[in-house]
């Protein structure tokens, strides 16, 4: 065995294998590596292959001393789509197949693993850590506000608020402490609308959330000043909380002065970025463009695409739209686009399959973001002071969009609506009529985000505390 006294702690990081969680967890891994820790970032083969195909991730990560990018099987056939409608199949497969592989990987690791950081929705990782006898920290990459709703699912059921009685989605929800004044049925994760308490997603979220207190600590990609009230509730269950977000901005800030390849493209994309959109943005007036993207998992119908397209065109606003290759249900019908849409898009729009989103949101031409309210997109937008129109698709996005519109006042919540007149009106409100109000609030939030991750900020402090806590773990021979 190596002389452990001479080597820094070795952290095995195991993200949930979807674009969103991989994005933020990889940025955490890079931040920990910059502090001198040795990292093994363990992906699934499916994600690893996609990253290698579409990014320069290997050349970027090899600049970090002691950083290894590895992968193991998720147990699914290579051609399984791992799409949003089939995500339970991935969870079931990982529990059955990946769990023993993970244990074997750690036990045979050339360097003893000091501790594990794993996504807290993968409760089996704690079983593995306990069987081997090494500490584990959980991370969750969704918002704290949705995490708290997940903690309260048993209370909602006990209070008879789940399953819903009747079909009024505007019925207030009263069993989530701290959200009594504004949470409605329609703001809960969409799996709450199934009417079936045995819904696999309800079971997954309700069960796995109970796992979180088992870990040594819980790492969240958020900020105290953004979700403070909710975080105080979560701390009752998970007292050792590390709020270190926004991690993408912390990493950018820490890399800012460095000249390594990592300070160039930091894409962790599962699709190839089309950078021509940056050139197009360079020729647009300041804050004149609305950026449209629904993340990596949302799938819309062609009718919905048409409603968004007509609405944005009728608003007269310039737009940059990401239409991911697999994002139209039934595939992109391609032809017979109405001529008025084609002409208007030619004149003031730009469409790509995948964009360098962090760079787009930081671009001077961007004045608003029509988003699905994924947590990474929400943090990236508020960090850049870009107001949002929220059109949530599933899971935590419905809670996030309620907070953006009703609590943080960072934009408009277009939840459960997809008609061109509403799209047109909301785009005009955000980009013209109420532009000044939204820009002022969003700008203020962006300043607070930048302050929280600067020296003296709480996110900066919590990241430093996490690093120190890991360094204090004595390496016990995990095997052999
Ligand atoms: O053209 C694009 C579009 C998106 N992104 C990036 O892809 C990520 C997307 O993440 P997110 O906005 O969180 O959306 P999802 O991919 O949908 O993320 C899933 O995971 C998140 C937590 O990690 C949840 O909050 C979401 O609801 C869930 O759908 C972000 O970092 C974006 O910057 C790009 O780089 N280019
Ligand atoms: C497909 C989604 C199931 C849950 C995962 C998640 C989470 O943080 O638990 C958020 O969205 C997706 O990344 C996953």
Cα–ligand 2 centroid distance for 118 (angstroms): 13
| Residues 234 and 313 occupy one common structural domain | no
The predicted structure's pLDDT at residue 336: 80
Answer whether residue 43 is part of any domain. yes
Contacts of 243 by beta carbon, 8 Å cutoff, 6+ apart: 144, 220, 222, 223, 224, 227, 231, 458, 459, 462
User: CA 187, CA 397: separation in Å to the nearest integer?
Assistant: 9
Does ligand 1 lie within 6 Å of residue 396's CB atom?
yes
Q: Determine the distance from the C-alpha atom of residue 150 to the mean position of all C-alpha atoms in its chain, rounded to a whole number.
A: 16
Residues 232 and 138 reside in one and the same domain: yes
Same domain, 283 and 417: yes
In this structure, are 235 and 315 located in the same domain? no
Helices (H), strands (E): how many in the chain? Answer: 20, 13
Query: How many folded domains does the chain comprise?
Result: 2
Same domain, 306 and 354: yes
pLDDT, position 206: 92
DSSP 200-263: HHHHHHHHHHTTGGGSSEEEESS-HHHHHHHHHHHHHH--SEEE---HHHHHHHHHTT--SGGG
How far, in Å, from the CA of 34 to the mean position of ligand 2? 27
Is the predicted pLDDT of residue 25 greater than 60, yes or no?
yes
pTM: 0.95
Residue among 56, 205, 198, 42 at smallest CA distance from 118:
42
Residue to substitute in 17, 18, 20, 266 for testing ligand 1 pocket (most ligand atoms within 8 angstroms of CB) = 20
What are 241's strand-pairing partners?
A: 218
Which residue CA neighbors atom 10 of ligand 2 most closely? Answer: 142
For residue 143, give the ligand 1 atom closest to its CA. Answer: 25
DSSP per-residue string spanning 308-328 = HHHHHHHHT-EEEEE--TT-B
Ligand 1 pocket mutation, candidates 296, 355, 360, 373, criterion most atoms within 8 A of CB: 296
Does one domain contain both 231 and 352? Answer: no
Query: Do residues 418 and 391 both lie within one domain?
Result: yes
- Which DSSP letter does residue 96 get? I
Q: Whose CA is nearest to atom 6 of ligand 2?
A: 142
Which parts of 342-433 are beta strand (E)? 349-352, 366-371, 388-390, 411-413
What are 105-135's pLDDT values in tens digits? 999 999 999 999 999 999 999 999 999 999 9
The fraction of the chain above a pLDDT of 90, given in percent, is 87
Q: What is the pLDDT of residues 280-289, one digit of tens each?
A: 999 999 999 9
Burial (CB count within 10 angstroms: exposed 0-12, middle 13-18, buried 19+), residue 464: middle
Give residue 330's pLDDT: 83
Residue 444 lies in a domain: no
Instruction: Select from 7, 12, 3, 13 the least CA-distant residue to 108.
Output: 12
Please give the structure tokens belonging to residue 131.
């069987």
pLDDT digit string (tens) for 425-477?
999 999 999 999 999 999 999 999 999 988 899 999 999 999 999 999 965 55
For ligand 1, the distance from its centroid to the CA atom of residue 49, given in whole angstroms, is 19
Query: Residues 91, 195: one domain?
Result: yes
Distance CA 216, CA 195 (A): 35
Ligand 1 within 6 A of 354 CB? yes
More confident residue, 326 or 184: 184
Whether ipTM > 0.95 holds is: yes
In a domain, 294, yes or no: yes
Confidence band for 260, pLDDT divided at 50, 70 and 90: very low
In this structure, the answer to whether residues 304 and 251 fall within a common structural domain is no
Tokens at 384, concatenated: 């850049």
Task: Report whether 116 contacts 138 (CB < 8 A).
Answer: no
Ligand 1 centre distance from Cα of residue 51 (Å) = 15
Residue 442 lies in a domain: no
- Per-residue pLDDT, averaged over 39-51, amounts to 96
| 86 burial level (CB within 10 Å; 0-12, 13-18, 19+) | exposed
Write out the residue range of the structural domain in which residue 348 sits.
Answer: 276-433
Q: How much distance in Å is there from the Cα of 473 to the middle of ligand 1?
A: 33
Same-domain pairing of 247 and 284: no
Is residue 297 situated within a structural domain? yes
Instruction: For 133-183, write each residue's pLDDT tens digit.
Output: 999 999 999 999 999 999 999 999 999 999 999 999 999 999 999 999 999
pLDDT value at 478 more than 90: no
Q: Could you tell me if 174 and 149 are in contact, meaning their C-beta atoms sit under 8 angstroms apart? A: no
* Shortest-distance ligand to the CA of residue 355: 1
Tell me how far apart the alpha carbons of residues 156 and 461 are, in angstroms, rounded to a whole number: 35
CB 175 near ligand 1, within 6 Å: no
422 assigned to some structural domain: yes
- Looking at the fold, whether 53 and 199 belong to one and the same domain comes out as yes
CA 139–ligand 1 middle distance (angstroms): 16
Distances (CA, A) of 169 to 164, 183, 424: 9, 11, 24
Taking a C-beta distance cutoff of 8 angstroms, is the pair 233, 209 a contact? Answer: no
Q: Give domain status of residue 438, yes or no.
A: no
Task: Report CA(89)–ligand 1 centroid distance (Å).
Answer: 20
Give the domain CATH number at 305. Answer: 3.40.50.2000
Pocket of ligand 2 contains residue 140 by CB under 6 Å: yes
Residue 477 placed within a domain = no
Question: How many angstroms does the Cα of residue 276 sit away from the middle of ligand 2?
Answer: 30
> What rounded mean pLDDT belongs to the chain?
93
Instruction: Tell me the residue length of the chain.
Output: 480
Cα 108 to Cα 104: distance, rounded to the nearest angstrom: 6
Query: What pLDDT is attached to residue 480?
Result: 41
Q: Concatenated DSSP letters for 255-286? A: HTT--SGGGS-----SS---THHHHHHHTS-T
Distance CA 265, CA 437 (A): 33
18 lines ligand 2 (CB under 6 A): yes
What is the per-residue pLDDT for 263?
A: 42
What is the reported pLDDT for 2?
A: 44
Give the per-residue pLDDT at 70.
Answer: 96
Domain shared by 254 and 354, yes or no: no
């Amino acid at each position: 065995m190596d002389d452990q006294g001479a080597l820094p702690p070795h952290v095995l990081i195991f993200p949930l294998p979807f674009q969103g969680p991989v994005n933020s967890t990889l940025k955490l891994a890079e931040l920990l590596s910059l502090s001198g820790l040795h990292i093994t970032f363990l992906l699934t083969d499916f994600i690893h292959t996609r990253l290698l195909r579409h990014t320069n991730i290997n050349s970027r990560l090899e600049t970090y001393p002691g950083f290894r990018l590895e992968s193991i099987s998720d147990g699914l056939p290579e051609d399984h789509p791992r799409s949003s409608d089939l995500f339970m199949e991935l969870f079931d497969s990982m529990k059955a197949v990946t769990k023993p592989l993970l244990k074997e990987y750690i036990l045979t690791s050339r360097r003893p693993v000091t501790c594990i950081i794993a996504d807290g929705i993968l409760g089996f990782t704690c079983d593995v850590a306990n069987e081997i006898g090494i500490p584990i920290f959980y991370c969750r990459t969704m918002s704290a506000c949705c995490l708290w709703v997940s903690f309260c699912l048993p209370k909602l059921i006990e209070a008879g608020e789940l399953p819903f009685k009747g079909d009024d989605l505007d019925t207030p929800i009263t069993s989530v402490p701290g959200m009594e004044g504004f949470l409605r049925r329609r703001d809960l994760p969409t799996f709450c609308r199934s009417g079936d308490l045995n819904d696999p997603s309800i079971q997954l979220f309700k069960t796995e959330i109970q796992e979180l207190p088992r870990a040594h600590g819980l790492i969240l990609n958020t900020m105290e000043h953004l979700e403070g009230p909710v975080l105080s509730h979560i701390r009752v269950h998970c007292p050792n909380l590390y709020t270190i977000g926004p991690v993408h901005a912390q990493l950018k800030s820490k890399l800012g002065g460095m000249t390594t390849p990592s300070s160039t493209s930091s894409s962790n994309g599962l699709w190839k970025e089309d950078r021509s959109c940056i050139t197009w943005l360079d020729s647009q007036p300041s804050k004149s463009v609305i950026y449209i993207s629904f993340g990596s998992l949302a799938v819309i119908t062609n009718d919905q695409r048409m409603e968004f397209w007509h609405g944005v065109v009728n608003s007269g606003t310039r737009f940059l739209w990401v239409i991911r290759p697999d994002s139209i249900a039934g595939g992109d019908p391609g032809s017979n686009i109405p001529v008025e849409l084609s002409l208007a898009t030619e004149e003031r729009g730009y469409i790509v399959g995948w964009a360098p989103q962090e760079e787009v949101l930081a671009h001077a031409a961007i004045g608003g973001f029509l988003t699905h309210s994924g947590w990474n997109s929400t943090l990236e937008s508020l960090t850049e002071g870009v107001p949002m129109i929220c059109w949530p698709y599933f899971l935590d996005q419905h809670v996030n969009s309620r907070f953006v519109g009703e609590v943080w006042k960072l934009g408009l919540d277009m939840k459960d609506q997809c008609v061109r007149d509403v799209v047109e009106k909301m785009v005009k409100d955000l980009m013209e009529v109420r532009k000044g109000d939204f820009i002022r609030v969003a700008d203020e939030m962006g300043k607070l985000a930048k302050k929280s991750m600067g020296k003296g900020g709480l996110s900066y402090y919590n990241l430093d505390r996490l690093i120190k806590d890991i360094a204090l773990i004595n390496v016990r021979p995990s095997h052999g």
